A and B are shown apart, each in its own frame.
Chain A
Amino acid sequence: MSMNKAQLVTWLGKLNDVYAEKKEYLTELDAAIGDADHGINMNRGFGKVMEKLPTVEDKDIGTILKTVGMTLMSSVGGASGPLYGTFWMKGGMLLAGKDELAADDFVQFIEAGVGGILQRGRPELGDKTMYDLWAPVLEAMKDEAGNASEVIAVVDAALPVAEKALADTIPLQAKKGRASYLGERSIGHQDPGATSSYYMIETLRDVLAG
């Protein structure tokens, strides 16, 4: 089964709930190795997405994704604003005119999005950023889509990989972003950006599983 627009809209709504619920937690993670604003930033950004969503809900998926990206870009701020903004916008540019996504479309969306994160932040693997989550997740999704799979199977395959990648950020020493100023003191903490990215995948799995 492909992923339809209603599921996309539900996903965004649930993400808003998740970021409201996890606001304190994400901010605590960011307090440990950053500047204690990541949860606040994400919560504010998705709140704005919810305000904008009704104006584009009946448009195509590309338009919805682009609107999400532009809204995050102009409301999140910090490092994660341009990174997530670019992520969703790249997907939107790719999926113009679509009303549902086959597994291949979905994986292309993630691939374009991760490409956007790379372009904007120029992270390298092991720098302790959200890219350390997205890189293995994208690989897992591509592998699963190669089996001509359903979107839910693609996301299912990615979830345990994401879970592991998230935990794997803990022992890393940050080399990008604010956390890098801590040097070795950044070791032993989970990356906040990787954590907010993990929620995107986990929440989508819940939505698709119904």
Chain B
Amino acid sequence: MKKLINAVEDVVKEQLEGMALAHPELKVNYEPYYMCRADAPVKGKVAVISGGGSGHEPMHGGFVGKGMLDGACPGEVFTSPTPDQMYECAKAVDSGAGVLFIVKNYTGDVMNFEAAAELVAGEGVKVQNILIDDDVAVKDSLYTAGRRGVGTTVLAEKVVGAAAEEGYDLEQCADLCRKVNQYGRSFGVALTSCTVPAAGKPTFELGEDEVEMGIGIHGEPGTHRMPIKSVDEMTQYAAEQIIDDPAYSRTVREWDGEQWADKELTDEPFAKGDKVIAFVNSMGGTPVSELYAVYRKLDEVCRAKGLTIVRNLVGPYITSLEMQGFSITLLKADDEILKLWDAPASTPGFVR
């Protein structure tokens, strides 16, 4: 393992210390871990909080700031944070307008955020949790824990963060976040594995000439392996997985203010004439130059399918440590989403 670390146990703590020094506009708390806007709570504003395992930087901590998140709760590398973190973070940033948890759909994250929502609600704080489950590589929700939360999370944090800044109330923020999730779809490709510092060796083995299609963001295996192809072929495949994905239905559990309630959701497929925000993401080890090669082909595939890219985001925003690879996210953009996408944001990892 070749990494810029001191001791394995100190990785997350020391990286947070570095962030705190580099960004005095953030407040970093160490017991338990969370970071929030130094000016939180912002009077009258809904607080937006996300969190998840570390190793995906700049998400989530890098998106804390005006126009995006109020707080972020980092877990150990690739391990979800714990309820006490979300609880303390929520108390620190709630202005009285309530707290929205944006939760990526992984069993660990879901359960820890659910436990946190119960704790926060127990204190009389208004809270809602909305899941992001946008990874089309997962086909069914009946025999799996459902689609994983990947690229759409970044776009949701931008759009919902802007809405909270504009004065949306908690329910409006939750409805918007649900909509963004339902409008977004992603697909990821790995060229190499990654190494979790505490494990010390690569999470999986991938041959010199092999790629893994349909990966998540934790080195979990994808749908299949194949010999590496040209960037055009791999981009076309990923884009078609997203654009041709049929309607997707599943049951999600949301906090209704007093208890957990099951909700049936169906995401409609993309349709000719849709305007989209296209997000081409690096898994960490792939250079931005190669992402533009992906974007070049993605633009062509979208045109051929009748989709118009009206905005884009290209770069490493939701990474998987040093993994080489990319993901594509397409988000159907209506006027509300576009207006909020264009709103100002000022965070360490995203500035508009």
Which residue, B81, B106, B107, has most C-beta atoms of chain A within 10 A? B107
Contact A36–B82 (Cβ < 8 Å) = no
Contact A185–B221 (Cβ < 8 Å) = yes
Contact A82–B115 (Cβ < 8 Å) = yes
Given the known inter-chain contacts A36-B203, A180-B143, please indicate yes or no for A74 contacting B79, CB distance below 8 A: no
Count of A interface residues, CB-CB < 8 Å:
34
Instruction: Say yes or no for B114: interface residue by CB 8 A criterion.
Output: yes
B108's partner among A31, A40, A79 (CB-CB below 8 A) is A79
Q: How far is the CA of A75 from the CA of B111 in the complex (A)?
A: 14
Chain B contact residues (Cβ within 8 angstroms of A): what range? 20 to 34
Q: How far is the CB of B293 from chain A (nearest CB, A)?
A: 28
Contact A183–B112 (Cβ < 8 Å) = no
Main DSSP-derived SS at the A contact region? helix
A74's partner among B76, B84, B203 (CB-CB below 8 A) is B84
B221's partner among A37, A78, A121, A181 (CB-CB below 8 A) is A181
Instruction: Say yes or no for A99: interface residue by CB 8 A criterion.
Output: no
Instruction: Say yes or no for A115: interface residue by CB 8 A criterion.
Output: no
Contact B220–A178 (Cβ < 8 Å) = yes
Contact A77–B81 (Cβ < 8 Å) = yes
In the complex, per-residue mask of B94-121: 1 if CB is within 8 Å of any chain A CB, else 0: 0000000000001110011011000000
Q: How far is the CA of A35 from the CA of B114 in the complex (A)?
A: 21
Contact B80–A182 (Cβ < 8 Å) = no
> Could you jot down 30 A-B contacts, CB within 8 Å?
A35-B220, A37-B78, A37-B79, A37-B199, A40-B199, A73-B115, A74-B32, A74-B85, A77-B75, A79-B107, A79-B108, A79-B111, A81-B80, A83-B111, A85-B115, A86-B115, A173-B143, A175-B143, A176-B145, A178-B106, A178-B107, A178-B108, A178-B218, A178-B220, A180-B145, A181-B145, A181-B148, A181-B216, A181-B220, A182-B221
Report, nearest first, the 10 A-B pairs whose CB atoms are least far apart: A180-B144, A82-B111, A78-B108, A74-B84, A77-B79, A79-B108, A79-B107, A177-B107, A74-B82, A35-B218
Beyond A79-B107, A178-B108, A180-B144, 8 additional contacts (C-beta under 8 Å) are A27-B199, A37-B196, A41-B79, A79-B111, A82-B111, A178-B107, A180-B143, A181-B220
B interface list, Cβ under 8 A from A: 32, 53, 75-76, 78-85, 106-108, 111-112, 114-115, 138, 143-145, 148, 196, 198-199, 203, 216, 218-221
